[in-house]
Amino acid sequence: MSRKDTSATRVKVEAIYRNESRRILATLIRLLGDFDLAEEALHEAFAAALVQWQRDGMPANPRAWLVSAGRFKAIDTLRRRARFDASQGELARRIEASIEEAIDDEREGLDDDRLRLIFTCCHPALSQTAQVALTLREVCGLSTEEIARAFLSTPATLAQRIVRAKAKIRDAGIPYQVPCRSELSERMDSVLHVIYLIFNEGYSASSGNELTRADLCREAIRLGRLLVELLPEPEAMGLLALMLLHEARRESRVTSSGSLVRLGEQDRSRWCQEMIVEGGAWVERALKTRRFGPYTLQAAIAAVHAEAPSAAETDWPQVVGLYDVLLRVAPSPVVELNRAVAVAMLDGPAHGLPLIDRMLARGELRSYYLAHAARADLCRRLGRLDEARAAYRQALALGPPATESQFLVQQLDALADQF
């Protein structure tokens, strides 16, 4: 085979890995019943694909081929281990004797292996931190370093949590399945939280030079749709709406050179109207149930922004009112900060700044760079330029992601020659 053909095969295999590896891994975990064995089998299957597909050509169904190859690689691994542990040989025989599963690429709903995997990772026997960390690692393929940044923790600490979570699933015999309907509600909060964090990591990437990761946004929305189909509860609808409304304007958040664009300055003609319409419909449906919660309220706020013709024409009284309700339903310093910014847009920066100052004085947001960035912007608008510069520097000192750091530097530089 020519070097050109070999290179073309490698490109195809790499593309399949990017697009399908987490789905294949989820299926292997179901078939093998072991996270680490499945991960090892996944990588061995892709390594085999590079060799065999270069020689024999691409199979008609690459995903099914990889799942099958992964199973046989796992069986070989267990047989090797059986020389030291007889139980591994018995496990290999059980896997080998199991009925070959047909892989249907079009299958959705309850049969989706990634949805099964999310419910397994979100089992109540695990702590919520372990649930989220394990799902981000196994379902979405985030690195331990990326997850650690999201948790404001160290990679070593997160790695230990993930290892312990896998061991608990294995030792407790936690089943790899979507729970029965009577058990679904108690698991929903964790599942919704996991999907929300997956989307957040895609919408505002915690590491790297890119502000967003479109693959994670798409995956979170797909999982959100699956969850609504599985259990059409108001908050599942609200979360799906929230993700769609944010995703509708993701591409307008950065310039062609990769610089951050604030909401009020975004080109609204680039916003995806189809997603805005769909998101708005899900918000209305969730609100009509009168059993909604924080995701639906956040989606309602996002809908007000998305439906406004311009920043100046945003219904700021409605935004502030929705934040008031959200603070009662799910109080948090970040929600309070967002409300303060909305108050500044409604009544002017002189009304919003004291609210932020009080929060910073309490110490709750002292290490949150966006609180200092918001304060800097309000000080700038009030002409308090020395305070604005100091606040921008404080925000930068807290180590924001690269794209947001670049934006803050630009804002600081713009104040350099002003007195």
Say if residues 38 and 28 touch (Cβ distance below 8 Å). yes
Instruction: State how far the alpha carbon of 16 is from the alpha carbons of 60, 204, 369, in Å.
Output: 13, 25, 38
Assess if residue 362 is contained within a domain. no
Assess if residue 407 is contained within a domain. no
**DSSP for residue 254:** B
To the nearest 10 degrees (0 to 180), the angle between helices 181-203 and 234-247 is 20
Q: Which two tokens stand for residue 181?
A: 């309907």
pLDDT of residue 205: 67
- The amino acid sitting at 419 is F
Identify which of 170, 184, 81 has the alpha carbon closest to the alpha carbon of residue 126.
170
Say if residues 391 and 372 touch (Cβ distance below 8 Å). yes
Assess if residue 32 is contained within a domain. yes
Nearest-angstrom CA–CA distance, 129 and 126: 8
Residue with tokens 């790695």: 159
Query: Which residues does 164 contact at the CB level (< 8 Å), separation at least 6?
Result: 130
Q: Which two tokens stand for residue 155?
A: 């990679």
Assess if residue 14 is contained within a domain. yes
Ranges in the chain, pLDDT < 50: 1, 99-111
Say if residues 306 and 280 touch (Cβ distance below 8 Å). yes
CA atoms within 13 Å, Cβ hemisphere of 330 = 12
Residue with tokens 């509860």: 233
pLDDT of residue 107: 44
Assess if residue 192 is contained within a domain. no
pLDDT of residue 136: 83
pLDDT of residue 5: 58
pLDDT of residue 257: 78
Assess if residue 386 is contained within a domain. no
Assess if residue 83 is contained within a domain. yes
pLDDT of residue 150: 62
Kindly report the pTM of this predicted structure: 0.75
How many domains does the chain contain in total?
Answer: 1
pLDDT of residue 219: 82
**DSSP for residue 108:** -
Residue with tokens 């259990």: 231
- The amino acid sitting at 183 is E
pLDDT of residue 236: 95
Domain that holds residue 56: 3-98
**Class of residue 246 by CB neighbours under 10 A (exposed 0-12, middle 13-18, buried 19+):** buried
Assess if residue 277 is contained within a domain. no
User: For the segment 75-106, what is each residue's pLDDT rounded down to a tens digit?
Assistant: 888 787 666 555 555 555 555 555 444 444 43
Nearest-angstrom CA–CA distance, 51 and 95: 25
- What sections of 181-315 are H helices per DSSP? 181-203, 214-230, 234-247, 273-288, 294-307
pLDDT of residue 201: 80
pLDDT of residue 93: 59
Nearest-angstrom CA–CA distance, 31 and 284: 40
**Class of residue 363 by CB neighbours under 10 A (exposed 0-12, middle 13-18, buried 19+):** exposed
Nearest-angstrom CA–CA distance, 131 and 276: 31
Say if residues 66 and 46 touch (Cβ distance below 8 Å). yes
pLDDT of residue 4: 55
Q: Which two tokens stand for residue 121?
A: 């990772």
Nearest-angstrom CA–CA distance, 208 and 254: 15
- What sections of 83-213 are H helices per DSSP? 86-97, 113-121, 128-138, 144-151, 155-172, 181-203
Instruction: State how far the alpha carbon of 403 is from the alpha carbons of 71, 211, 268, 416, in Å.
Output: 42, 6, 21, 20
Say if residues 390 and 375 touch (Cβ distance below 8 Å). no
